[in-house]
């Protein structure tokens, strides 16, 4: 299963690519679906 969350930031407060990747990893780590599903869950970032 692949999740592709879309997030919008205020232009002058946009995070770096590294920060976005860290946010995606943190979200995946604490995701109820990812921790309870018996299949692989992939969180794929979508560039704005």
Q: What is the pLDDT of residues 12-31, one digit of tens each?
A: 888 888 998 898 788 878 88
Domain ranges across the chain? 2-8+17-43
What is the torsion angle, in degrees rounded to the nearest 10, for the CA atoms of residue 4, residue 14, residue 30 and residue 41?
A: 20
Q: What's the chain's average pLDDT?
A: 82
Residue 39 CB contacts under 8 Å (≥ 6 apart), including other chains:
1
Q: Please give the pLDDT value at position 15.
A: 87
pTM: 0.58
């Amino acid at each position: 299963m692949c999740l592709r969350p879309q997030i919008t930031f205020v232009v002058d407060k946009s995070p770096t690519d590294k920060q976005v990747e860290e946010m995606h990893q943190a979200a995946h780590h604490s995701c109820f679906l990812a921790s309870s599903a018996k299949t692989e869950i992939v969180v794929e970032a979508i560039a704005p």
